[in-house]
Amino acid sequence: MTSKTLDHFLQENLEDLKSRGLYNEIDPLQGANGPVITINGKKLVNLSSNNYLGLATDERLKKVAIEAVKEYGVGAGAVRTINGTLDLHVKLEEKLAKFKGTEAAIAYQSGFNCNMAAISAVMDKNDAILSDELNHASIIDGCRLSKAKIIRFGHSDMEDLRAKAKEAKESGQYNKIMIITDGVFSMDGDVCKLPEIVEIAEEFDIMTYVDDAHGSGVLGKGAGTVKHFGLSDKVDFQMGTLSKAIGVVGGYVAGTQNLIDWLKVRSRPFLFSTSLTPADVTACTEALDLIMNSTELQDNMWENSRYLKEELTKLGFDIGNSETPITPVIIGEEQATQDFSKRLYEEGVYAKSIVFPTVPRGTGRVRNMPSAAHTKEMLDQAIAAYEKVGKEMGII
């Protein structure tokens, strides 16, 4: 017998979501998450993964991961601080520090986990966090967990940030203050105004934390948004994920040796959750080597995104102001956006719709993530589908 209260709660809320068209049905992939995927037996050009460099299915990564399983097994066996730190983890962290140009780095089991871990290890109820209003959910949750006062500033609004930073500093109410921002914002593909953020932080002696989930492997010749702006020695926390451009799973913070030493004794997911598997860690290390030794994958990704954006613009679509491969096609009205995405699916293209409340009402978009792994033929197929559906629905 299950609890009546729970049954009632679930029934009511699931029905409510379904009646409002907000219940998300998940389509499992039959096979790998590559540039072409199969769902319900149907082959689709995949424009919805964060697998920017195509590394999720890279043969070189697969090979080293298989070797790691043979030598180390499938699990790390414990949390990092008991005996779940393999030499493989140390090697990955050294590589991450080199990749980011910092003294040290610490790896976590996911990017989400990393934000939960790192923010609350440093900030507490006597502190304040200035947070961009469009920051990722994991930042929001990490900030909440810390119990610090959360002060939201308008998206990339530097005047607002300056005013709020000044006010927080001059109030004398807080022991420590931190500014936290996404490096690249995933809904529009715009880049944070890091030089101004660093300037404000220096003026008021405030810490800086950049979540570069969508910038690492993409901007700054792969090293990310902070490197892109030449500010590697000015940002306190360079957080990133190993699940997007790196193609595997995991998260990390790169920073000074002292910061990393502190996180290793104070961040709870590091202390109380089993570490990344040998295969994951080894594949991540290989991915970093590939990115640091050649720009070939990034060059392909940028060329593919340039091509996709150019062709969609030529067709007359509004693709917003993205500065990265993220390519939103703004449709507007919520239902029309969902219908558009559904029609693309029927035409053999997998591109998800993103609507209110994830983005402001009336700015529904179909988001496209071109990668290094797409061929010109795949992109042409997607562009042809966009043209057909766009004309059919009177968008272009």
Residues annotated as catalytic (active site), given as ranges: 186, 214, 244
The yes or no reply on residue 214 touching ligand PLP (CB under 6 A) is: yes
Using Cβ positions, the residue closest to ligand PLP within the complex turns out to be 111
How many residues sit close enough to ligand PLP to count as binding (CB under 6 A)?
Answer: 14
The yes or no reply on residue 243 touching ligand PLP (CB under 6 A) is: yes
**Residue range at the interface with ligand PLP (CB under 6 A); choices 68-76, 173-181, 211-219, 371-379:** 211-219
Nearest approach in angstroms of CB 14 to ligand PLP is 25
Q: What residues between 246 and 275 interact with ligand PLP by CB under 6 A?
A: 251
Q: Give the whole-angstrom CA distance, residue 227 versus residue 223.
A: 6
- Residue of the chain from 51, 146, 208, 241 that contacts ligand PLP (CB under 6 A): 241
Nearest approach in angstroms of CB 134 to ligand PLP is 10
Nearest approach in angstroms of CB 39 to ligand PLP is 21
Write the DSSP assignment of 56-98 as a string of letters. GG-HHHHHHHHHHHHHH-S---SBTTTT---HHHHHHHHHHHH
Instruction: Please state, in angstroms and as integers, the Cα–Cα distance from residue 63 to each residue in 58, 247, 288, 375, following that order.
Output: 9, 14, 15, 23
What amino acid is encoded at 382 in this protein? A
- Closer to ligand PLP by Cβ: residue 247 or 390: 247
Tokens of 80: 């990092």
Q: Give the whole-angstrom CA distance, residue 268 versus residue 285.
A: 24
Instruction: Please state, in angstroms and as integers, the Cα–Cα distance from residue 367 to each residue in 153, 174, 273, 302, following that order.
Output: 25, 40, 33, 16
Nearest approach in angstroms of CB 135 to ligand PLP is 7
Nearest approach in angstroms of CB 284 to ligand PLP is 11
The yes or no reply on residue 186 touching ligand PLP (CB under 6 A) is: yes
Sheet holding 364-368, edge to edge: 327-332, 364-368, 353-354
Nearest approach in angstroms of CB 267 to ligand PLP is 15
The yes or no reply on residue 211 touching ligand PLP (CB under 6 A) is: yes
- Closer to ligand PLP by Cβ: residue 161 or 213: 213
Quote helix, strand, coil % in the chain, to nearest 5. 45, 15, 40
| Cα 105 to the center of its chain, rounded Å | 18
Which helix (DSSP H) or strand (DSSP E) does residue 156 occupy? Answer: none
Among candidates 273, 281, 288, 272, which has minimal Cα distance to 249? Answer: 281
**E strand segments, 165-261:** 177-182, 207-211, 237-241, 251-255
Q: What residues between 119 and 138 interact with ligand PLP by CB under 6 A?
A: 136, 138
Query: Which residues neighbour 230 within 8 Å (Cβ) at sequence distance 6 or greater?
Result: none
Tokens of 52: 């920017």
Instruction: Let me know the angle formed at the C-alpha of 225 by 224 and 230, rounded to the nearest 5 degrees.
Output: 100
* Contact letters for ligand PLP, residues 273-312 (x by CB under 6 A): ----------------------------------------
- Closer to ligand PLP by Cβ: residue 115 or 131: 115
- Closer to ligand PLP by Cβ: residue 186 or 381: 186
Nearest approach in angstroms of CB 188 to ligand PLP is 13
- Residue of the chain from 132, 182, 280, 286 that contacts ligand PLP (CB under 6 A): 182
Q: What residues between 63 and 122 interact with ligand PLP by CB under 6 A?
A: 110-112, 115
Name the site residues for ligand PLP (rule: CB under 6 A).
110-112, 115, 136, 138, 182, 186, 211, 213-214, 241, 243, 251
